[in-house]
C-alpha cells in the first residue's frame, strides 16, 4: 500500500498539530514532526485537538530539518508554500510522497524553496489573503494525493446508526 507522509517543519501551534494528527489517523498517513516545535508534545491543547485518535498514529520525531532530510534521503518531497507557482491539483503525487509544510508564522525556509522550484506547491487563494490555516492546507493536500491514488484502504461508504441504507432507494 502506498504511504502518504505529512511533514510539519517547526510547528508552533499545538491545536494545528493536533488537528493534523487527527487527519493522519483518519487517512493512515504518517506524521513527521520536525523540531524545534513551539510546544511540548504532551501539551493539553495538542491532545484535545487530536481527541482519542493517538493510538492510530504513526509519528516520527526529528531534531531539525537536517535530521529529517538525512533520515529520509531519497524521498520525493513536495513543499507546500504560498510562494509556490504550481497548483496542488496539477501535481502528480507519487506513492510514498512527502508533503512538507512550514511554520504557521514563517512557512518553509526560502533557500529550501529556491533550490526546488519545481517541487513548490500552493493552494490557490485570493491575493489579499496571506494564507490558509495550516491544518486546513494539510487536509486539502492530503486528500488530493489520496484522491489521485484512489483512496487506498480508506472506507468510502458510511453507515447510519438507526437505519439501513439498503432499505432506501437511491435516485
pLDDT of residue 48: 60
Determine whether the annotation assigns residue 160 to a binding site: no
* pLDDT, tens only, 119-157: 999 999 999 999 999 999 999 999 999 999 999 999 988
Q: Nearest to residue 123, comparing CAs of 95, 171, 84, 92?
A: 84
Interhelix angle 14-27/134-148, rounded to 10 degrees, is 20
Q: What are phi and psi of 107, to 5 degrees?
A: 70, -160
Q: Taking residues 87-108, report their average pLDDT.
A: 97
Name, in order, each residue with C-beta under 8 angstroms of 79's C-beta and a sequence gap of 6 or more.
100, 102, 108, 112, 113, 116, 119, 120, 121
Query: What residue ranges do the domains of the chain occupy?
Result: 5-167
pLDDT in tens, 18-69: 899 999 999 999 999 999 998 877 756 555 655 577 788 899 999 999 999 9
Determine whether the annotation assigns residue 102 to a binding site: yes
The answer to whether 123 is a known ligand-binding residue is yes
Residue 109 has pLDDT above 90, yes or no: yes
Mean pLDDT of 96-104: 97
Encode pLDDT of 156-170 as tens digits: 888 889 988 777 776
- What's the confidence (pLDDT) of residue 11? 96
- What is the CATH superfamily name and number for domain 5-167? SPOUT methyltransferase, trefoil knot domain (3.40.1280.10)
How much is the pLDDT for 163?
87
pTM: 0.91
Amino acid at each position: 500500500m502506498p504511504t502518504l507522509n505529512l511533514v510539519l517543519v517547526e510547528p508552533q501551534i499545538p491545536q494545528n498539530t493536533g488537528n493534523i494528527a487527527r487527519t493522519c489517523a483518519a487517512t493512515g498517513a504518517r506524521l513527521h514532526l520536525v523540531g524545534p516545535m513551539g510546544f511540548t508534545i504532551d501539551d493539553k491543547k495538542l491532545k484535545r485537538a487530536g481527541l482519542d485518535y493517538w493510538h492510530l498514529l504513526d509519528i516520527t520525531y526529528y531534531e531539525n530539518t537536517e535530521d529529517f532530510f538525512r533520515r529520509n534521503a531519497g524521498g520525493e518531497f513536495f513543499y507546500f508554500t504560498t510562494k509556490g507557482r504550481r497548483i496542488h491539483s496539477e501535481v502528480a503525487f507519487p506513492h510514498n510522497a512527502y508533503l512538507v509544510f512550514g511554520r504557521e508564522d514563517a512557512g518553509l525556509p526560502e533557500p529550501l524553496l529556491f533550490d526546488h522550484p519545481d517541487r513548490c506547491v500552493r493552494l490557490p487563494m485570493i491575493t489579499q489573503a496571506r494564507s490558509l490555516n495550516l491544518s486546513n492546507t494539510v487536509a486539502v493536500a492530503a486528500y488530493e494525493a489520496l484522491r489521485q491514488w484512489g483512496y487506498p484502504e480508506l472506507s468510502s461508504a458510511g453507515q447510519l446508526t438507526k437505519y439501513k441504507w439498503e432499505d432506501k432507494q437511491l435516485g
